[in-house]
Structure formats: C-alpha cells, structure tokens
C-alpha cells in the first residue's frame, strides 16, 4: 500500500512539473477559410404544409371523424389475409413487397391514416400529398373471363380495397348443385367498384343488365365521397355521405348537385330508389330464408347443398347488402341484379311471400 501511494505521488508531482514548464498562450491566429454551405434544414420544407393557410388541419379533423379513423377495422381484422386493407402497416408493406404472401401481422395495428394513402414526410414538400398507390387498378375478380380495370383518377387509391374478393369455389349458372361449406361465403365487404362498373360475377339470366351507369364518373368515388364537406361529419377527408342533422340522417348532396340541380327532385329520386331496393332486398331475403340458404339471425349463409342458381342469388343479395348504397352506386344495374335473382328463386319454387 505504501509503494502505491508513493507511486501516485510521483505521478502527480511529474504532472505539476510539466505544467509549470508551459509558457503563456500565444496570440489567436487568423480564421481559416470558410467552409462549404450546408444543406438547408427541413423546417423550410415543413412550412409548405404546416402553415396557417394550409388545409391540412381541416383534412385531419375530417378524417378523425371518419369510419377509416374510428371504425374497428384494424382491431378485428388484424390477421393474415386481412391486414393489407384493414391496417396501415399492412397496406404499406403490401405496396413495398407487391404481394400479400408474407405480410406481417403488426403488434400494434393502426387504422388507415394520412400516411397510408399519402407519401407523408418523404420530401417535406407539397409532393408529400402524392398518393401511395395512384395507378389504374386491375380488380381481383374477372368478368366474363376478362380483367376488369378501374381507372378513375384519385379514386384508384380506393379501388384496391373497395372491391369484390374471389369466391372460390363458386357455382356456375345452371350448374350442378353446390355445397356451401363456409357460412361467410361471399364477395366480402365493400364490393363497390365492381357494382359501379356493373361487372359482378354472379349475374343470372333474365332481364338484360344495363351497360351504362350515370354514377360512374371520371373521378369515381371522390366525386361524391370527397365532395365539399359538411364540417367534419361528411365529405372531404371524412369520406362519408350520411351525417346526423339534429337527429335526422341526412345525405350530403354537394357531390350530387353537380348533375342534379333540382334538390327537390333529387330527394324524391333518392327516396324512391331506396324504397325500391329495400323492398327487393326484403323479397329476396325471404326467398333465401325459405330455401334454407340464409340465416337472418346471423346475417350469414347456412351450410348445406343447394341449387347452383339459388347460391348465385344469395351471392347477389350479399353483394348488394355489403355495397350499402341502397342502389345509388349503380341504380339500374343493382335493380336488375335483384330482379333476376328474385325471378330465379321463383322459378326454383320459392315465390315471394305474400305475392
């Protein structure tokens, strides 16, 4: 221990001696040459969006009241095969990989949000408003054996998720009896693009299906769903078209009035169409219940073996129910789809009750 203390003292003494040998500090030298100018900080780019005149605050508030933001999609569909449409992480991973085969199921599923659809904070400029999936969409389900293309401007982003999903196996028109093994058999939620285009795979013989649709606009979904908003409750980035007005469910008409200039006539058209489609859906539902295919208590199919055309009628019913537009998305086509399904069920021995 004594040797260690002596050694430490020796080291300290040597340091003091060396320090005492240093002379006074010399004069300050001249400044060196000026370096290159660095890249500008990102705060200048941020101001392109984050400024008092930007609509971003309104867009965010509208979205916060939307089904995309508040619905339970990310929670109940956070599983393989669903995450690419029901979670933000799954959608962005699909875009990166180009396939749904190996998409991870996120630990903390996020609802669809700004960064799902827009290239947020990639350039810190107005280019960040660009869509993440802007091009034309080839829909999953073919029609008459051919690809179905949706190419309607900004609504191409919507079409990837809001389309029919393949039903496999599926019955053929006038085909062999078909065995339903899955009560959730159907085109899945939101088969909107297929109905708007008037190209669903379950058409039945009968009245010719219309080939034109006045509501199939050049901009597709955004014409009505993102029209001039009603506060944060409908339109804009809320994307809904129905809102509560003093306890009354009210339709946002800012997208409709570009064509329907007489709002009184428009109200009558909407009421008549809703009444017609509701009546036809009720008739077809009663026929499907009588045939033993549909369980009205669960809202799902029943398992068992049924006539092929009866199963197709059920798939048409399910498609219109999941569309949820009461015929507005394609009035003539949806009405004909139901008429032919009802007539088919009557031919199979299931008349509309009470008629």
329: in domain: yes
Question: Which of 74, 102, 125 is the last residue in one of the domains?
Answer: 125
Which of 41-45, 102-106, 296-300, 350-354 comes out lowest in average pLDDT?
A: 41-45
Angle at which helix 331-347 crosses helix 308-323, to 10 degrees, equals 150
Q: Is the pLDDT at 281 greater than 70, yes or no?
A: yes
Residues 180 and 306 placed together within one structural domain of the fold = yes
156: in domain: no
Distance CA 75, CA 147 (A): 32
Residues 203 and 327 placed together within one structural domain of the fold = yes
Q: Is the pLDDT at 183 greater than 70, yes or no?
A: yes
pTM above 0.75, yes or no: yes
Q: How confident is the model at residue 105 (pLDDT cuts 50, 70, 90)?
A: very high
The structural domain count of the chain equals: 2
Reduce the DSSP state of residue 204 to 3 states and report it.
coil
Which of 23-32, 160-169, 294-303 comes out lowest in average pLDDT?
A: 23-32
Residues 278 and 178 placed together within one structural domain of the fold = yes
Q: Compute and round to an integer the Cα radius of gyration of the chain.
A: 32
343: in domain: yes
308-336 as b/e: b if 16+ CB within 10 A: bbbbbbbbbbbbbebbebbbbbbbbbbbb
Residue 236 structural domain: 168-347
Residues 183 and 309 placed together within one structural domain of the fold = yes
**Which residue, among 111, 109, 158, 150, has the nearest Cα to 131 in the 3D structure?**
158
Whose tokens are 């320090």? That residue is 19
Question: Which of 68, 101, 125 is the last residue in one of the domains?
Answer: 125
201: in domain: yes
**Average model confidence (pLDDT) across the chain:** 90
């Amino acid at each position: 221990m004594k040797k260690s203390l002596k050694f430490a003292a020796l080291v300290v003494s040597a340091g003091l001696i060396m320090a005492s040998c240093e002379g006074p500090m010399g004069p300050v030298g001249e400044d060196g040459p000026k370096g290159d100018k660095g890249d500008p900080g990102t705060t200048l780019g941020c101001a392109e969006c984050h400024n008092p005149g930007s609509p971003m605050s309104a867009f965010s508030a509208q979205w916060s009241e939307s089904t995309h933001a508040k619905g339970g999609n990310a929670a109940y569909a956070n599983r393989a095969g669903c995450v690419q449409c029901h979670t933000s992480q799954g959608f962005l991973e699909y875009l990166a990989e180009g396939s749904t085969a190996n998409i991870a199921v996120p630990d903390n599923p996020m609802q669809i949000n700004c960064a799902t659809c827009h290239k947020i904070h990639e350039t810190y400029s107005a280019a960040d408003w660009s869509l993440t999936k802007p091009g034309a969409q080839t829909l999953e389900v073919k029609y008459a054996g051919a690809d179905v293309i949706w190419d309607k401007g900004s609504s191409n982003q919507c079409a990837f998720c809001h389309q029919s999903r393949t039903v496999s196996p599926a019955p053929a028109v006038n085909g062999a009896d078909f065995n339903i093994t899955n009560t959730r058999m159907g085109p899945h939620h939101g088969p909107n693009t297929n109905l708007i285009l008037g190209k669903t795979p379950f058409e039945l013989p009968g009245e010719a299906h219309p080939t034109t649709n006045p509501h199939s606009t050049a901009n597709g979904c955004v014409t009505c769903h993102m029209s001039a908003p009603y506060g944060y409750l409908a339109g804009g980035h809320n994307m809904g078209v129905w809102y509560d007005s003093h306890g009354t469910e009210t339709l946002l008409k800012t997208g409709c009035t570009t064509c329907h200039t007489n709002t009184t006539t428009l109200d009558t058209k909407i009421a008549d169409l809703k009444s017609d489609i509701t009546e036809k859906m009720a008739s077809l539902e009663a026929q499907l219940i009588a045939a033993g295919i549909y369980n009205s208590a669960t809202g799902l199919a029943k398992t068992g073996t049924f006539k092929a055309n009866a199963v197709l009628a059920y798939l048409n019913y399910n498609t219109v129910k999941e569309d949820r537009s009461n015929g507005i998305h394609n009035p003539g086509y949806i009405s004909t789809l139901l008429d032919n399904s009802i007539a088919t069920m009557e031919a199979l021995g299931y008349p509309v009750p009470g008629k």
